[in-house]
Amino acid sequence: MENFNETTLRDDVKQAVAHLGFTTPTPVQAKTIPAILGSDRDLIALARTGTGKTAGFGLPVVDGIDPELDAVQALILCPTRELCLQISKDLTEFARFRKGVNVVAVYGGASAGDQIRAIRSGANIVVGTPGRTLDLINRKKLVVDQLKRVVLDEADEMLNMGFQEELNGILDATPKEKQTLLFSATMPKEARKISTDYMNDPQEISIDHTDAGNSNITHLYYKVKGSDRFRLLKLLVELNDDMYAVIFCRTRREVDGVAEDLRFAGHAADALHGDMSQAQRDDVMKRFRKGRIKLLVATDVAARGLDVSDLTHVINYNLPDAPEVYVHRSGRTGRAGKEGIAVSIVTGRELRKLRDIERYGKIEFEEAPIPSQEEVYQRRAMNFVETLRAAELTDQKLLGLLPEITDALKGLDRDALIQHIVAFGLADFSKQIGGGKAVEAPREDNTRDKKERRERRSNVSYTKLCMGAGRRQGYTVPQVIGMLNRNLPGRKIDLGKIDLQNNLTFIDVDEKEAGRVVAAFDGVRDKGQELNLRIYDGNGPATDDGDRDKRPRNKYKSFSGGNPGNFAKGKKKHRKGQGKG
């Protein structure tokens, strides 16, 4: 199938396709549309985000609706409200010239009454999230006994989000005689079980990642020290003043922090994550789509359903754990034939993840040199000059004032005038990047440094301190280290194990410095509470919850190389060649 006219789609659906400007189908559309239209056989289609899946199932769904039948004839399930609304909008466009074909979206966080009234008004196609859809079916407000087609879109993500029971309940309520279409980026065992339990001899189509539009995307990575992630991000944003990007972070806390720091640096940025109310998320998405926000900092789940065709960059502030998630992320740029850039900020130990992603996605990463502040400054200055050269004076009021303006500038010669223009145009930018610490790539071989640190620590005696705050107060091991450095000016002290618990943190410090550390923290408050840092005398339980085995293990290795859970009481001596228990 090389064009949409070759399909057996109805003329009014083809008219909508032409109206939308679709000409050549994507690989997933070329394979799925004929397969769905050509038979009633169930279908499994494996394809990543951004490959045109919605039209792949949406055009046949709209084509197959009988407007004379007053019933819901197609049900499309998807993981999030944002994706639900986007699919509903797309299907409404596909049905533009089909009279009597109505699409209704049902999802949580909005009035169920309004959605029920919309269904009663004559819904032929319902697009829904699993929770709200099952609720309406159980309340008999959504009648599904005349369904012809059921579509599970992003099935793997719905299962990852814990919708297994809801999907089972919905599928159990639908007629046995129907066409079931399962679209997914991956095929976990839970999705395979759904195909076994609820699908009849499905045809399976797999769109290889190399066929999925990756040729439009340049995959770059920058190798930095972990502490330099944000400084590099800021440089990249300032280097590309037309950047329109989604920046992916691992945690909601990190999303908020990165977005706030970007705003503080003068950039149009905002956060998107699951802790925000639905109204807040809708507002952020609306402003991002309209371009009032240029940088959207998000978690993977919150960004599901994000469909913005003009993204210039996708930035991985942290690499995802699973290679398929990277493919999902990068697929949000380079759409509709446009070029896109996927950037990953990595540390040396994360290079292995890049190799895993390369093998999985059949892509090739290119290491990019870290830009200097001087490069950023020069680029922005020359961009300003080009903008100045291209500017045209069309305002009639200003044209009328030109004689007065010219007269007011008479005292300035050419060089002085240029200096004044540049000083005015770049003053704010100069403040933004001036005086910042340079970002440097980590040294390739720091084996000697590590050996020296090990030898220096091997003969250090440590004293255990106890701090009256831990994970529940929002602390991580790097935050504890940062807090120590902020409150201990002067020479650095040697740290041993840092044992982070729910409401307590145990910190091994050089015994010679223990008194200075405790004195420095006398009365210090952080995160709204007094830290109460003191020398641990060995009395009391080793943990603050009495349930050590059930606590999640700290992912950060201790500085003395031991297990944070196995600490001794009071002082201890580490000697070279001996165990550090």
pLDDT digits (tens, 9 = 90+) for 260-302: 999 988 899 999 987 888 788 889 988 998 899 999 999 887 7
Q: Are 466 and 504 in contact (CB under 8 A)?
A: yes
Strand-pair partners of 100 = none
In a domain? residue 460: yes
pLDDT range class, residue 342, cuts 50, 70, 90: very high
Cα pseudo-dihedral 486, 490, 493, 497, rounded to 10: 0
In a domain? residue 241: yes
Whether 77 and 217 share a structural domain: no
For residue 20, the one-letter residue type is: L
CA distance 531 to 461: 24
The number of distinct structural domains making up the chain is 3
In a domain? residue 581: no
pLDDT score, position 6:
81
Residues 161-179: what's their mean pLDDT? 94
For 316, phi and psi rounded to 5 degrees? -95, 95
Higher-pLDDT residue of 435 and 106 is 106
pLDDT score, position 548:
39
Residues 95-101: what's their mean pLDDT? 94
Domain boundary, last residue among 207, 227, 251: 207
pLDDT score, position 407:
87
Whether 203 and 242 share a structural domain: no
pLDDT score, position 101:
95
CA distance 254 to 474: 12
Of residues 351, 356, 297, 346, the one with CA closest to residue 323 = 356
Query: Which pLDDT tens digit goes with each residue over 171-225?
Result: 999 999 999 999 987 788 888 999 999 999 999 998 754 444 446 789 999 999 8
pLDDT score, position 78:
94
Q: List Cβ neighbours of 267 (8 Å cut-off, separation of 6 or more).
A: 237, 294, 295
In a domain? residue 436: yes
Range among 324-333, 388-397, 506-515 rated most confident: 506-515
Q: Are 409 and 417 in contact (CB under 8 A)?
A: yes
Whether 200 and 152 share a structural domain: yes
CATH number at residue 246: 3.40.50.300
Position 125 pLDDT exceeds 90: yes
E-assigned strand segments in 288-375: 295-298, 313-316, 340-346, 366-367
pLDDT score, position 557:
33
CATH number at residue 529: 3.30.70.330
pLDDT range class, residue 153, cuts 50, 70, 90: very high
Position 525 pLDDT exceeds 60: yes
Whether 190 and 103 share a structural domain: yes
CA dist list (Å): 242 to 86, 245, 485: 26, 10, 37
Whether 543 and 399 share a structural domain: no
In a domain? residue 374: yes
pLDDT score, position 1:
64
Higher-pLDDT residue of 334 and 406 is 406
CA distance 64 to 78: 20
pLDDT score, position 567:
34
pLDDT range class, residue 339, cuts 50, 70, 90: confident
Structure tokens at 33: 């549309």
Per cent of the chain over pLDDT 70 is 84
- DSSP at 104: E
CA distance 433 to 5: 54
Whether 434 and 480 share a structural domain: no
Whether 232 and 336 share a structural domain: yes
Of the given ranges (202-211, 254-263, 378-387, 404-413), which has the lowest mean pLDDT?
202-211
pLDDT range class, residue 226, cuts 50, 70, 90: confident
pLDDT score, position 91:
96
pLDDT range class, residue 431, cuts 50, 70, 90: low
For residue 524, the one-letter residue type is: V
pLDDT score, position 212:
40
For 269, phi and psi rounded to 5 degrees? -130, 155
For 77, phi and psi rounded to 5 degrees? -110, 140
Whether 436 and 555 share a structural domain: no
Burial of 220 (0-12, 13-18, 19+ CB in 10 A): middle
pLDDT score, position 571:
44
Domain boundary, last residue among 444, 471, 497: 444
Domain carrying residue 554: 452-573
Domain boundary, last residue among 406, 427, 444: 444
Whether 166 and 290 share a structural domain: no
In a domain? residue 578: no
Whether 234 and 354 share a structural domain: yes
CA dist list (Å): 540 to 65, 548, 553, 571: 71, 14, 22, 16
What's the whole-model pTM score? Answer: 0.56
Query: Which pLDDT tens digit goes with each residue over 19-64?
Result: 988 878 888 899 999 999 978 999 999 887 667 889 999 999 999 9
Whether 426 and 463 share a structural domain: no
pLDDT score, position 157:
84
Q: List Cβ neighbours of 67 (8 Å cut-off, separation of 6 or more).
A: 98, 99, 100, 101, 124
For residue 182, the one-letter residue type is: L
In a domain? residue 189: yes
pLDDT score, position 563:
35
CA distance 509 to 479: 16
Query: Which pLDDT tens digit goes with each residue over 500-524?
Result: 888 899 999 888 888 888 888 888 8
CA dist list (Å): 271 to 39, 347, 535, 579: 45, 24, 40, 46
pLDDT score, position 175:
95
Q: List Cβ neighbours of 151 (8 Å cut-off, separation of 6 or more).
A: 57, 61, 74, 75, 76, 77, 180, 181, 182, 183
Q: Are strands 269-272 and 461-467 parallel, antiparallel or unpaired?
A: unpaired
pLDDT score, position 213:
41
In a domain? residue 580: no
Average pLDDT, the chain: 82
Whether 84 and 162 share a structural domain: yes
pLDDT range class, residue 77, cuts 50, 70, 90: very high
- DSSP at 578: S
Position 441 pLDDT exceeds 80: no
